[in-house]
Structure 1
Amino acid sequence: MKRIILFILLLSSIGVFATQADSLFVKANKLYQSEKYNEALEVYKQIEKHNINSDDLLYNMANTYYKMNKIAPAIYYYEKVLQQSPNYTDAAFNLSFAKRMAIDNIEPLPKTLLQKLNQSVVMRFTYNTWAWLAIGLSFLFALLFLLYHFSYSTGSKRLYFITSFASAFLALLMIAFAFQNYKHAKANTEAIVFAQQTEVKTAPTASSEVSFELHEGTKVKVLESLDNWKKIKIADGKIGWILSDDIKEL
C-alpha cells in the first residue's frame, strides 16, 4: 500500500511540475518577445535545471543567446537540438547564421561516397527513432504473417507472404541503422569551444608547443581525455590538446 501511495504522489508531483514548466516556458517566451533577453534566459535556465531538454526549450535558448551576441552558447544549443532531432530545419537554418559569426573558418575534409551515404541516410534520424521504426515494422511483420497463416485465398496468401518478409527485412535494416548510429554517437563525442581564444598544444602540457589556435563557437571532436586536457580533432583533420575548461561537450 505504501508503494502505491508513493507512486501516486510521484505522478502528482510530476504533473504539478509539468504544469509549472509550461507556465515558465510561456513566461520566458513573452520576455523574449519583449526583447528582455537576459530575463528570458534566466527563466529558460530554470526549466533546464530540472533536466527538461525539449527541442523547443533548447531552440529558444539558442535563439536568446544569438540575440545577445553570445556565439558559443548559441551554437552549442543549436547543435544540441540537432543532436536530438537531426531534421529540425529551423535549428539547422539558424545554426548556419550563427556559424557565420564565428571567427574560425575551417574547411572540412572531403567526404567519401560511403560517408556521404552514411550521413544522408543512417544519420538522418537518431538511433532511438530507428529503433522505434524497427519495433513498428516487427509488429507489422507479425500481423502480416498471421494474416498469411489464416488466409484461404492464394492471392492473399502470396501478398501477405511477400509483404511480411519485406517488413521483416526492413525491420532488420532499421536495427542495423540504429546500431550504426549508436556506435557513431558513442565514438564521436563533440564539443564547442567556449573560450574567446585558446591555444591547441602538441602535447597535454602547458609548456608544449602551440599547434594552432581556435576561437569561440568552433566545433571539435573529442578523441581522448587526460587530466585537465582534451585531445581534439577539427574538421580539416588537425589534432591537438586543449584545456578541458575551454570547451563544452555536447
Structure 2
Amino acid sequence: MKRFIQLIILLTLSLSLSAQDALQDKANQHYIAGEYEDAIAAYNEILSSNKASAEVYYNLGNSYYKNNQFTQAILNYERAKLLAPNDEDIQFNLDLANQHVVDAIDPLPQVFFIRWWNNITNKFSVDQWARISVVSFILFLVLAGLFFFTPSGLIKRLSFWSGILIVVISIFSFNFAARHKQRITEHNFAIIVQPSVTVKSSPSESGTDLFLIHEGLKVEIRDHLSGWMEIRLSDGNQGWLPANSIERI
C-alpha cells in the first residue's frame, strides 16, 4: 500500500512537471512568433500556478516590452531582479525599459558602507547565499573535528584559525540570505501603474499637493492607511498616494 501511494505521488509530480514544461514551451513559442498578448497570458498562467522564477518574470517582462507595455515590463524585470540580482541581461533590459519613464529622479548618495553592503548582498541569490552558509558550516565542523582529535600542534593551530574564518563566512552568508529573503517577502518597493498621480501631504484627497509622478517610476513603500500608501522616492521626497496607483514588486 505504501509503495502504491508513493507511485501515485511520483506520477502526479511527473504529470505536473510535464504540464508545466508544455505551458512554458507554449509561452515561448508565442513570444518567438510575435504573439505577445498570448505569450503574456501564458506566462501569467505559469505564475498563477505558483511557479514563479526569475526566468518566467524576465520572459514576461520581455513580452510586455515588445507589446509596448513598458510599465508592466519594468514591474516584471524588477521582480526577476529580486530573484536573480546579479543577472546582467535582466539589468540591461530593465535599464532599457526605464528609458521610457517620464520622471528623471536623481537618487540620494549612499554612505559607502551601506552601498558596499548592498552590493555584496546582491552578489548572489537567496539560494546561493544559503548554500554558501551551509557548506561553510559543514567545513567548520570538519575543522573542529581536526582541532579536537588531531595530535599535531600545527594542524590544531591551522584548523583553529581556519575554523574561525569559515564560521564568520557562514554567519555573514546566512545574514545575506536572510536579508535578501526579507526583500523578496516584504514587498517594500512598488511601481507606479497610473499614467500620472499627484502625491499628497496626507492620506486624503484634501491633502496638499506635493508633486506629480508618472507611471513606471519605482518607489519605496513606507506606510499604509485606509486605501492610501506613504511612499518615498530615491531622492528623499515622500508623501501619500492612492493604493491603486501602485503595484508592489
Match of 1:26 in 2: 25
Match of 1:175 in 2: 174
Secondary structure of the residue aligned to 1:177 is helix
Structure 1 stretches lacking a partner, 5+ long = none
Distance 1:224 1:5, change over 3 A: farther
TM (normalized to structure 1)? Answer: 0.90
Match of 1:37 in 2: 36
Asked if the contact 1:62/1:78 (under 8 Å) is kept, the reply is: yes
CA-based RMSD of the aligned residues comes to 2.3
Q: How many residues align?
A: 249
- After TM superposition, the structure 1 stretch with the greater mean CA deviation from structure 2, 126-135 or 212-221, is 126-135
1:140 aligns with 2:139: yes
Distance 1:233 1:133, change over 3 A: same
1:12 aligns with 2:21: no
Asked if the contact 2:86/2:122 (under 8 Å) is kept, the reply is: no
CA distance in structure 2 between the partners assigned to 1:82 and 1:107 by the alignment:
21
- Give the superposition deviation at 1:38: 0.9
Distance 1:203 1:9, change over 3 A: farther
Match of 1:201 in 2: 200
- After TM superposition, the structure 1 stretch with the greater mean CA deviation from structure 2, 130-139 or 20-29, is 130-139
Asked if the contact 1:135/1:171 (under 8 Å) is kept, the reply is: yes
CA distance in structure 2 between the partners assigned to 1:213 and 1:5 by the alignment:
63
Match of 1:158 in 2: 157
Asked if the contact 1:134/1:172 (under 8 Å) is kept, the reply is: yes
Correspondences of 1:117-132 after superposition (within 5 Å): 117-132=116-131
CA distance in structure 2 between the partners assigned to 1:240 and 1:95 by the alignment:
26
Task: Specify the code of the residue in structure 1 equivalent to 2:85.
Answer: P
Task: Specify the code of the residue in structure 1 equivalent to 2:113.
Answer: L
Task: Specify the code of the residue in structure 2 equivalent to 1:135.
Answer: V
CA distance in structure 1 between the partners assigned to 2:39 and 2:126 by the alignment:
32
Task: Specify the code of the residue in structure 2 equivalent to 1:161.
Answer: F
Asked if the contact 2:231/2:239 (under 8 Å) is kept, the reply is: yes
Asked if the contact 1:188/1:221 (under 8 Å) is kept, the reply is: no
CA distance in structure 2 between the partners assigned to 1:8 and 1:94 by the alignment:
44
| Cα shift readout 1:51-107 (whole Å, capped 9, x = no counterpart) | 111111111000000111111110001000111111111101110000001111111
Structure 2 stretches lacking a partner, 5+ long = none
| Cα shift readout 1:143-199 (whole Å, capped 9, x = no counterpart) | 122234343444444333332222122212323434554566677700001111111
Correspondences of 1:67-82 after superposition (within 5 Å): 67-82=66-81
CA distance in structure 2 between the partners assigned to 1:60 and 1:188 by the alignment:
21
Secondary structure of the residue aligned to 1:101 is coil
CA distance in structure 2 between the partners assigned to 1:48 and 1:184 by the alignment:
19
- After TM superposition, the structure 1 stretch with the greater mean CA deviation from structure 2, 36-45 or 5-14, is 5-14
CA distance in structure 1 between the partners assigned to 2:9 and 2:218 by the alignment:
40
TM (normalized to structure 2)? Answer: 0.90
Asked if the contact 1:75/1:95 (under 8 Å) is kept, the reply is: yes
Match of 1:104 in 2: 103
- After TM superposition, the structure 1 stretch with the greater mean CA deviation from structure 2, 69-78 or 8-17, is 8-17
